[in-house]
A and B are shown apart, each in its own frame.
Chain A
Amino acid sequence: MPDTRTLGLTLTSCGLVGVIATAYLGFSWAPLVDPEAWNAPEAYRILFWHVPFAWASFLAFCLLFIGAVSWYRKRTEWGWRLVVTGSELGLLFGLGVVISGPIWGSAEWGVPWDWGDLRLNTYGLLTAVALFLVLSRRTQPDGDDTRDTLAAVGLFGFALVPITALATTWYQNRHPGIVLVESEDTGLDPQIRMVLMLGFVSFLVLFVGLVTLSGTIQALEEELEGRQRMLDEGAIA
């Protein structure tokens, strides 16, 4: 499968270049926020990766949802591949959010985690669901029963996505609101917005690259298993 391999590697490389550029511009070009309004004005630069990481994790959970529905409806192999890819990338980007959020929180709020905040807790649960899916897939024997169970857990995980995404609109406690949507009113600096947009595009390209790579790897694993099975059957016969 040379085409998807090359495509995946190219998109991943381009995405990484954009992600690095986002970090560089976030530190060197984006202006400092008002030191009177923020406790740790430099720490806000974490958000140039934190927010796109969160968006990418939501995309991963969307893939997980589509895959789980497809698996339940028609037992399609591509549906299961989406479940695997979605859970892996959901864990990767979810961990990024769960790591960077508390670092920013401890600098800005003085505490890394607020157990009374709806978004923090639902997001933590979402990442825990992704961790459960990845670990279960690697430790349980692959079969329809295992896939049914994990797809069901994946559907439950997706139900948390809209709750987490809209948590700051419904019930804002500590976590800031939706940055870009509220920027018209709050007057987000154009340079900050531009770096954030570069981050979104770069992480989107990286995400598509990683999805392509994951799909290619799974296809190769299946091909290898298929060949092994044929050899085993030939040896028995």
Chain B
Amino acid sequence: MTGMVEAVVAYTLLSSLLATYVVRQIVLLNGLTSKLGESSSRGPEADSD
């Protein structure tokens, strides 16, 4: 047993962990940016609905 399988499994799991967090942050960032954009363009009256 050389441990190559374990190395591949470890890198797969860590890549998934990193990718999940980075994608979640980007989705959150884009969501907030568009919400703020909508809120600015619609004005206070539309927001209060």
- Please tell me which stretch of A67-75, A117-125, A190-198, A213-221 contacts chain B, meaning at least 4 of its Cβ atoms lie within 8 angstroms of it: A213-221
Tell me if B6 and A103 are in contact (CB < 8 A): yes
| A: number of interface residues (CB 8 Å) | 44
Select one of B6, B44, B47 contacting A104, CB under 8 A: B6
Contact with B along A101-114 (1 / 0, CB 8 A): 00110111000000
Q: How far is the CA of A159 from the CA of B2 in the complex (A)?
A: 37
B49 CB, min distance to chain A CBs, angstroms: 10
Q: Are B11 and A99 in contact (CB under 8 A)?
A: no
Q: Are B10 and A42 in contact (CB under 8 A)?
A: no
Report whether A224 and B39 are in contact in the complex, using a CB–CB cutoff of 8 Å: yes
A-B contact count (CB 8 A): 100
**Majority SS of interface residues in chain B?**
helix
Q: Across the interface, which residues of A come within 8 angstroms of B6, CB to CB?
A: 40, 42-43, 46, 103-104, 106-107
Q: Could you tell me if B3 and A107 are in contact, using CB atoms closer than 8 angstroms?
A: yes
Chain A facing B: main interface SS:
helix
**B33 close to A9 (CB less than 8 A):** no
Given that A43-B3, A220-B29, A224-B35 are known contacts, is A95 also in contact with B48, CB under 8 Å in the complex? no
* Interface residues of B, Cβ cutoff 8 Å to A: 1-4, 6-7, 9-11, 13-15, 17-18, 21-22, 25-26, 28-29, 32-33, 35-36, 39, 44, 47-48
A-B contact pairs, 23 of them (CB 8 A): A8-B29, A9-B26, A16-B18, A27-B7, A40-B1, A40-B6, A42-B6, A43-B2, A92-B17, A96-B18, A99-B14, A103-B13, A104-B3, A107-B1, A210-B21, A213-B26, A213-B29, A217-B29, A220-B33, A223-B36, A224-B36, A227-B36, A227-B39
